Structure 1
Amino acid sequence: MWLYVGDERRAGPFECVCSPSVSARGGRVAFAGIRDGRRYAYLDGKEGSAWDYVVIPVVLSEDGGTVAFAATQDRKSFVVRDGRRGPAFDQVRAPVLSRDGKHLAYAAQQSGAWRVLVDDRAGKSFDFVDDPVFSADGSAVAYSTGFQIIAGDSVLGPYDAVTAPALSADGRGIAFGRKSAGRWALVLGGREQPVDGDLERVFVSADGARVGGVVSRDRKLGVWVDGQRRGQFDQLDTPVFGPDGRRWAAAARDGFSWFVVTGDAQYGPYGDVGTPVFSPDGRQLSFGVRVGRELRWSSVPLP
């Protein structure tokens, strides 16, 4: 197995090329690979040290200047950031980088207790924690314990259950789903919006003004925004708001066909589809699709 970037063969052969990651600004590629039965993290086709196990994905900052991954060696697990090993635990999950690569967070377990570490500083221990999320500017990090939302020194809850949180670009807006007395609601800035169905995930606009969720009802998934449910799908990726927060878009599957859906339109069917991306002015939507054996890049103007 070989790694190709565009039409150029960059590295190989390997027994496995696992979950390649490309820096958002392009130019750098990282992945976990297997060669001669050993696990490696590769950056630009160059292998690092051999490990007993490498957790996928290997993550890159947007500019490609920082690379991090979780690994296991001699029954101890840790995060490796730019070649430097962090503290050892019984188990660690794949790390998360802030967009500029200056901050790193991950969940780790020791003796049955889970905690989130931010730049190797450990938080409080819980029976369970979700993977942490950063705000776009890297100033805030938040995560769920299953019953509470932890955001810095703030604790929201407890509730019967909560979803993983989503943060506005500046980290001031915290959105999440909460369940109380058997009913789910979207929460943003302390204000609650009841939803009809079970909340799976939430998403928030960059300015923190709008919130939406993925809801499940009758074994079908839909998008809940502004008090209304849109669509009934078998699989639904987490939607994203456009730059101005007016529109949202998501990739969704109905049966064997994939679509790109917005609040106003549906595009497809396709054999497969990637995450849709808004243009900077929010007036155009672009996404990769598979039609038969062909891969295409599609751009559509928005109404």
Structure 2
Amino acid sequence: MKGSMKALGIAALVLASLSGCSKEPGKGKDLSLLTTSTTVAEIAGLQQGAGAWNSEPVRNVPQLDFSSNGRGYFYVAEQGGAFHVVHNGNRHTSYTNILTPTLSPDGQHLAYQAYVDDKLRMVVDGKDGEVVEELEIPFFSPDSRHIVYQAKKGGRWYFVVDGHSTPGNGTQHNQFGFSADSSRIAYVDTVSEGAPPRLVVTDLGFKKLTTREATGSVMVISENRTRIAAISDAGGKKRVIELSFAQPDSVKEGALYDNVRDLAISPDGASVAYVAEKGGARLLIHDGKEQPFPAGELVGSIIFRPDGKGFGFLVGSKGSCAFYQSGAGAEVEKRPYDEVGELAYSKDGNSHVYLGRKVTPGQTGKSIFAVVNGKEGARFDKVAGPTFSPDGRLVAYRARQDGKRFMVVSDLDGKIVRQDPVHEMVFPPVFSNDGKLLAYGVKDGAKLVWNVEKL
């Protein structure tokens, strides 16, 4: 990759100091998966009609979430005409409005945009940053020690890293990601309005920038956060490039096509796949090898198998849907479904699941179901987030029926193993590493509970 450039130094603008995040994440705290059912909070004033901090009732809880280990949570409460956050039991200042609350991976830090009247600032761990014109969503590093976001002041956008701001330009980024070791970031921006995008890889101090011009209309980062793939423009054609966070100057370039879309990268970063157009024909490209793309339109994304043995994808075409897998002799699973989506694989790659929808004439609801290894599960009004256990024996997903929400666990034939009790809200499930426990957050009235079940 050519065109390396050095940062001009840290600008004087400092928007917020990150309390705690520059230290070792969760030092002194157990950050493993919480394996005991626990009431983590009770929203004061939500049921009783009077808050714990003043006489006004909590009118609404518009946003809340749990960390994936169950040891962190937040909720936003509307009270007395204003909004406040409670994070891990700590109540923050009230604001006119609160946007984009984001938990760190370990659940111990929280950042959000907050308005006082029309004045905007980023709040990190309860501390107000400087008032700015605009803000973008904050991102925490994988180790939870760093936070990065973009802020606009004086008509220019700046990256703010752990409270320190970089030299800015007139445009904001549109894609972003951290490296696995949390030492680098990659993003896409433009130098000026109307200019082509550029892909940038840099250290957190913006002292060693590597840029790739006319690149990044699409950028994807591998699940292990080691490698990057992006679409690059070249003389009216398009190609895919690959590079690593560790050596961003070493770039692998793919062949030129009339168009490239639906770019995907494997979890380990070793493979890429995408749909390309050449001479009016659509092609499926996998690590440089071409094959015809089947009739129909790609639904969702190309999903790589975690075992590294190819990938799968869903296609919709004229009232029917199909599941395709790469590889010679791979069978095509065609079904007369109205819709499909949310394809996922087991860790060993031997099983797959996706959601199907098929409306029955004269029947309302009960049209969505999980399809596990080609076998349909029970039908519900809504199904979301099918996830395999680490040992690949079970699939868990959230379901809704007649306004009631609950967790469902099925076997590899799609048959229900257990259907959990109904809750007001149900959050995405997490399995223990040995697959013997299923954990997820729930809300019932004023109570927020981390629910843990033996399988």
Q: TM-score, normalised by structure 1?
A: 0.73
1:151 and 2:191 equivalent? no
Structure 2 residue aligned with 1:82: 125
Contact 1:286 1:298 (C-alpha < 8 Å) held by counterparts: yes
Q: Partner residue of 1:10?
A: 42
Counterpart-to-counterpart distance in 2, 1:249 and 1:42: 41
Counterpart amino acid of residue 213 in structure 2? P
Rate the CA distance shift 1:241–1:196 in 2: closer, same or farther, 3 A: farther
CA separation in 1, counterparts of 2:123 and 2:275? 33
Which deviates more, 109-118 or 38-47?
Answer: 38-47
Name the SS of the counterpart of 2:233 in structure 1. Answer: strand
Equivalent residue letter for 1:100: D
Aligned residue in 1 for 2:342: 260
Aligned to 2:163: 120
Amino acid across the alignment from 2:97: Y
How many matched pairs? 288
User: Pairwise CA RMSD of aligned residues?
Assistant: 4.2
In 1, Cα distance between equivalents of 2:65 and 2:294: 31
Give the distance between the partners of 1:89 and 1:30, measured in 2 at CA. Answer: 24
Query: Equivalent of 1:52, from 67, 85, 96?
Result: 96
Q: Where does the alignment leave 5 or more consecutive residues of structure 2 unmatched?
A: 1-36, 48-57, 191-196, 203-207, 244-250, 278-282, 322-336, 346-350, 357-367, 369-380, 414-455
1:274 corresponds, among 384, 389, 392, to: 384
What pairs up with 1:226-241 in 2 under 5 angstroms?
226=287, 227=290, 236=300, 241=304
Q: 1:279 to 1:121 in 2, by over 3 A?
A: farther
CA distance in 2, matches of 1:196, 1:284: 43
Question: Unaligned stretches of 5+ in structure 1?
Answer: 217-221
Give the C-alpha shift of residue 159 in structure 1: 0.8
What amino acid is aligned across from residue 108 of structure 2 in structure 1? G
Give the match's secondary structure for 1:157. Answer: strand
Would you tell me which structure has more strand in proportion to its own residues? 1
- Where in structure 2 are the equivalents of 1:106-117 lying within 5 Å? 106-117=149-160
Asked if residue 162 in structure 1 is aligned to residue 217 in structure 2, the reply is yes
Deviation of 1:265 after TM superposition, in Å, equals 5.6
Task: Tell me by how many angstroms 1:277 deviates.
Answer: 4.2
Is 2:225 aligned against 1:185? no
Rg comparison, structure with higher value: 2
Matched letter for residue 148 of structure 1: R
Rounded Cα–Cα distance in structure 2 between residues aligned with 1:286 and 1:198: 34
**Cα offset, 1:53, TM superposition:** 2.2
Which residue does 2:246 correspond to in 1? none
Decide whether the 8 Å contact of 1:165 with 1:176 is kept in 2.
yes
* Residues 116 and 129 in structure 1, CA contact (< 8 A), matched pair in contact too: no
Structure with greater contact order relative to length (CA < 8 Å, sep ≥ 6): 2
TM-score of the pair, normalised by structure 2: 0.52
Distance 1:27 1:214 in 2: 41
Alpha-carbon displacement from aligned partner over 1:80-110 (angstroms, at most 9, x marks no partner): 2212223432111221112331111111112
Q: Give a deviation string over 1:126-169, Cα, whole Å, max 9, x none.
A: 32312532234323211110501111033332217622442563
Structure 1 Cα separation of the partners of residues 111 and 276 of structure 2: 33
Equivalent residues in 2 for 1:168-179, closer than 5 Å:
169=224, 171=226, 173-179=227-233
Aligned equivalents of 2:398 and 2:275: distance in 1?
Answer: 22
Determine whether 1:288 maps to 2:397: yes
Aligned to 1:51, the other structure's residue is in SS state coil
Which amino acid is 2:66 matched to? V
2:107 is paired with a residue whose SS is coil
Say whether 1:137 aligns with 2:181.
Answer: yes
Task: Pick the aligned partner of 2:408 from 270, 280, 297.
Answer: 297
Alignment check: 8 A CA contact 1:116 1:132 kept:
no
Please state how far the C-alpha of 1:210 moved relative to its aligned partner: 2.0
Deviation at 1:26, TM superposition (A): 1.4
SS at 2:270 equivalent: coil
